[in-house]
Amino acid sequence: MKLILFGPPGSGKGTQASLLAKKINVPHLSTGDILRLKLNDKDELANELSKIMSSGNLVPDSILNPIVAEKLLSSDCKNGFILDGYPRNKSQSNFLIDFLQKNKIDLDHIIDFKADTETIKNRIIQRSKIENRSDDNLEVIKTRLEKYFAETQPLAGFFRDNFEGKFFEINAMQEISKIQSEIENRLKNA
Ligand code: ADP
């Protein structure tokens, strides 16, 4: 199964992506996780990435698009994938659509996580107490949310219009287990 998850930071899409990935046995491709792993290299690129990410800004497409393309073509992804955190802007979306067409990869579903801003902010603040992410503080959350509303959310509209019958929304303000069972039901009945 080939899925894309959309949703604001803190909407829990990473949590659900990882639960679902185990259940349906496909890789969870989180661009945030992939980039955070790169930070361990402690080279020049890691330095550059670290600055961008801890400010809440988007990493350049020229860095991210080839990473995603390579992952999607790897044998791990031949039975499917869950893409989480990508595409995040129009140019990534254009790149992805073109890439999928050229490689005859058909998406099965696009899931859009819906949650209000207050809930999201609270969740990220809670998460910051457990995980040590440099971008989980109020100032940076503001930038991440601005980026999300300006660049990423409009993409969901594009996918809704162009992938009719494959796109659905999920209420992400519910408990983790409730969201999980709603997603599984939607996928079963699709
Ligand atoms: P969240 O969705 O909770 O904000 P992620 O873990 O998905 O966090 O991403 C963390 C950071 O990694 C982003 O703020 C951004 O700097 C970078 N990043 C992740 N995915 C992308 C992407 N598709 N394009 C550009 N930057 C990205």
Instruction: For 21-44, give the DSSP string.
Output: HHHHT--EEEHHHHHHHHHTT-SH
For residue 80, what pLDDT is reported?
98
What percent of the chain has pLDDT above 90?
91
- Sorting pLDDT into bands at 50, 70 and 90, what band is 6? very high
Please tell me the pTM assigned to this model. Answer: 0.94
Q: In the chain, where are the structural domains located?
A: 2-188
The Cα angle at residue 84 between residues 38 and 48, in degrees rounded to 5: 30
| Residue 133 confidence (pLDDT) | 85
Site to substitute for ligand 1 among 11, 30, 31, most atoms within 8 A of C-beta: 31
- Positive or negative torsion for Cα 183, 35, 86, 120: positive
Q: What is the mean pLDDT of residues 146-175?
A: 96
Q: Which residues line ligand 1 (CB under 6 A)?
A: 9-10, 31-32, 35, 52-53, 56-59, 64, 85-86, 88, 92, 135, 144
**pLDDT of 138 higher than 90:** no
Unique residue bearing structure tokens 């067409």: 101
Task: Say yes or no to pLDDT of 64 above 90.
Answer: yes
Q: Which CATH architecture has domain 2-188?
A: 3-Layer(aba) Sandwich (3.40)
4 vs 56: CA distance, rounded Å: 22
Q: Judge if the upstream peptide bond of residue 66 is cis by omega within 30 degrees of 0.
A: no
Q: What is the pLDDT of residue 115?
A: 96
**DSSP string for residues in 114-134:** E--HHHHHHHHHHHHHHS--T
